[in-house]
Each structure stands twice: as structure tokens, then as C-alpha cells.
Structure 1
Amino acid sequence: MTSCRSAPTATLAADPLPNRPGTPPAGDGRAIHPRWLRIAHWLNTLAVIVMVTSGWRIYNASPLFGFSFAEGLTLGGWLAGALQWHFAAMWLLGANGLAYLLLTAGSGRLWQRFLPVSPRAVLDDLRDALHGRLSHADPRRYNSLQRLAYLFVMLDSAVLVASGLVLWKSVQFPLLRELLGGYETARYVHFFAMTALAGFVVVHLVMVALVPRTLRAMTLGR
């Protein structure tokens, strides 16, 4: 999902982002993604796979809507087993996600890669994407659509963990339960947050398929 909007040379030269500390120009031999980021990415990948598939099994035990997920796509085998997998993945996602946020903010990467995001820039990049004018020249630079998507998934993951805590220990988190509108509402919040995360993963995989060198960069750093 790594791309950047094509622009005239003069515009790129005036863009301060490539000159920010910790953002070396492409082709300088340095890693595109630091090791800690790659480790966090793949741990999150594992956590999300386990959470989604075990969550589908938990959902099937008490569906919110008039459908269920195919048993072959679920993890856990039965409700108690699925809950154990789900809670284990929840702690992994929460701890790893918190470490990622602290390192991202502390290293300055949060401001270098993901901020600022303006509605006008998002609309411009969306228009360019729809017209096939987004290039993939520099994997270190994120366009506004990518910034918005990554910031969204950070927020969505936080909502996912918060609503999951309410479903797991509703009595122990009364304030959080009330903020989410009660236990039953938290079930819907959790379901839609998980659906949004799964949707992000699908889009992310499509973009990786279109630009396969991003997989190498996230695996080997280059």
C-alpha cells in the first residue's frame, strides 16, 4: 500500500518531507523501514489474523445479524477455544500496538510519515488515484490517502481493544462500558471495528499485489 502522488520535479524539490530528519532519500542504501517497525508489523499481522478468525467463531455462537461465517474460515473449533485464541491475540495486538505507537511518536515517524493530513490533499490524491496518476517512485513518502488510512487503522485498533475489554470484563470497566453505550452496543461497535480492520487488510493486500516490492521492503527493509 506504499505509493506517492506523481508531481513535477519542481514541486518535489520544494516538498520539505524528504529532507526531514529520519527520512533519507530513496536509493541511499539505508533501510526503508527500521527493524522495530517490521517486527511490529508482522506481529500485528499475526494478531489480526488470529483475532478475525477466532472472532468469526465467537460471532457464530451468537450472531448479531442473519448470517454466519463458514466454519472452515474460523479458529478455535468451539466457543471456549475461540475465546482463548481471541484473548491471546487481543493482548498481543494491544501490547504490540502500544509499543508501535510509542516508538512511532518517539522516533518522530508519526509526524514525518503520517502528518499532516488535510481534506483538500486527500481529495486531490483520491482524484489522482481514480485517474491512475499515483506513482510509486519513493516508498518512503506516503500520500494523503495512505496517511489517512494508517491513522484510521490506529484509531480503529484502539476502539477494537476498548470494546473488546467491555465484552470481556464488562463489570470491571463500567465507565468504558457506558462510553460505548452499554454492553449490547459495544458488541456492535466491536463487530464494525473488526469489519473495518478486515477491510483495511483487504485493501492493503490488493495494493501489495499491485506494488510487490513493498512486501520486500517490509520483510527485508529494502
Structure 2
Amino acid sequence: MNPTRLPASLASMPAPVPPVQQSRTIHPVWVRITHWLNALAALTMMLSGWRIYNASPIFPSFSFPNGITLGGWLGGALQWHFAAMWLLVFNGIVYLLLNLASGRLVRKFLPLSPRALLRDFVSALRGKLSHDDLSHYNAVQKLAYLFVIVDLIVLVLSGLAIWKSVQFPLLRELMGGYDTARIVHFSAMSLMAGFLVVHLALVALVPRSLLAMLRGR
């Protein structure tokens, strides 16, 4: 018998199916927890901040509808705002430290080149940007996430310059004075609101990204 040929009974048997590999973890537990806590704190600060803004608007002709604000009145809004601020600060510090210590910050968000950003931005406009691998961020996502990290830091610093203007005179002056610090704070808040709108729109287009942030894979 030719050793290279199998008996007919064996040759007709189907090939063994390899075991299904478990889905790899995209977001570890600490990323998911800090992400949702940051989202809760940022949203609470934004809604309560709108009520605080209405009490002393920077632009007299513009105010936010009270129905989309949080706090009910100025004192209540301030309590919500400061409570969320501490959550954002401490949770944000934990998020940044763990990202740096694990190397995730460099691995996920760098490198980021203008050429890659332009290429992925054009692909996104054409609807040809792939989202098959959720563990990999394209250049547009990298820029957006780095931007919102910096924006939240500016929000906290400008908020401190407003809240503790006497205690932090150097910070107040770096912001251009108390009145300018209010404008910086409002602008950073507006940019964060814009980021949230775009972020939610992308989640709606790629719902698997929401599942990944909920269950990790």
C-alpha cells in the first residue's frame, strides 16, 4: 500500500475543525471603568455648567434652555458641578497614570502623522474608513481622543482659575485674567460638547464599538 495514500474510509472523513479561538480583549476592565466614570463626570459637569452659565452669561444674548440643564437653580448646579469635578479629576488622573504605566497611551495613540490624518480623514468623508479591527485606532480617532484628553485638562485648569481665582493667581494670569478664563472654560466646554455629538454619531454607525466598551471585546 502506498504510505502516502490514506484508506478510503479515512479519506472520506471530514477534516477536524480547529477549536474556536476566544475573542481577544479590546478594552481591559480598568479602561472601561475609567471611561464610563469620565463620561459620567464630564456630562454632569457640562449640564450643570450650563445652569451656572445662565446665572451669569458671558454672551448676554445667549442662554441654554433650563430643561437641558442640571441643578434646578444656581446653588444646586454648583453642588453638582463641584461633585463631578472631583470625580473627573481623580478618575482622570488614574486613567492617565494607568495608560502611561501600561504603555497603552503610546501604543494606541501614537504615532500620529499629518499624512495619516489626511488620508484617514478623506477616507472617512468618502465612507471608506474600515472599522473591522476595533483594537486599532485610525488617525482620526487618535487625534480625537488625544484632543478630548487635552480639552478636559483645559476645562479643569480654567475652572480652577475661575473658582479659586485668588488662591491661584498665576493660573488666573496664564488664562489671561478672570474674564478670559471664563471664555476659555466656555470654549473648552463647547468643544467637548461637539466631541460628544461626533462620538455618539460614530457609535451609532459602528455599534460594535459600544459593545466593546461595555464587555471588553
**TM-score with structure 1 setting the length:** 0.86
2:53 to 56, 59, 67: 59
From 74, 98, 118, give the equivalent of 1:123: 118
1-side partners of 2:22 and 2:193: how far apart?
35
Structure 1 residue runs of 4 or more that deviate by more than 4 Å after TM superposition:
none
What amino acid maps onto 2:37 in structure 1? L
1:149 CA drift (Å): 0.6
2:178 to 159, 164, 183: 183
Q: In the aligned structure 2, how far is the partner of 1:106 from the partner of 1:221?
A: 20
2:42 aligned to which of 42, 48, 52 = 48
Give the unaligned 5+ runs of structure 1: 1-26
Deviations 1:164-194 (A, max 9, x none): 0011110011111110000000000000001
Query: Which structure has more RCO (C-alpha within 8 Å, separation ≥ 6)?
Result: 1
By how many angstroms is 1:147 displaced?
0.4
Q: Does 1:33 align with 2:36?
A: no
Q: Indicate the SS of the match to 1:116.
A: coil
Cα distance in 2 for residues equivalent to 1:175 and 1:89: 24
TM-superposed deviation, 1:28: 5.2
Q: Counterpart of 2:172 in 1: which secondary structure? A: helix
Q: Which amino acid aligns with 1:36?
A: W
1:142 matched residue in structure 2: 137
Distance 2:187 2:46 in 1: 12
Mapping of residues 129-208 of structure 1, within 5 Å: 129-208=124-203
Measured after TM superposition, the shift of residue 29 of structure 1 is 2.2
Q: Structure 2: which 5+ residue stretches go unaligned?
A: 1-20
Q: Secondary structure at the match of 1:164?
A: helix
Q: Deviations over 1:88-109 (max 9, x none)?
A: 1111111111110110111011
Q: How many angstroms does 1:45 deviate by? A: 1.1
Q: CA deviation at 1:131?
A: 1.5
Instruction: Tell me whether 1:216 sits opposite 2:208 in the alignment.
Output: no
> Partners of 2:168 and 2:193 in 1: how far apart?
26
**How many residue pairs are counted as aligned between the two chains?**
196
Task: State the AA in 2 paired with 1:134.
Answer: L
Give the fraction of aligned pairs with identical amino acids, expressed as a percent: 67
SS at match of 1:135: coil
The one of 82, 89, 97 aligned to 1:87: 82
1:78 to 43, 61, 73: 73
Greater Rg over alpha carbons, structure = 2
In structure 2, distance between residues paired with 1:91 and 1:196: 21
Distance 2:25 2:126 in 1: 31
Separation (CA, whole Å) in 2 of partners of 1:167 and 1:86: 13
- 1:102 equivalent in structure 2: 97
Task: State the secondary structure of the residue aligned to 2:70.
Answer: coil
State the partner residue of 1:5: none
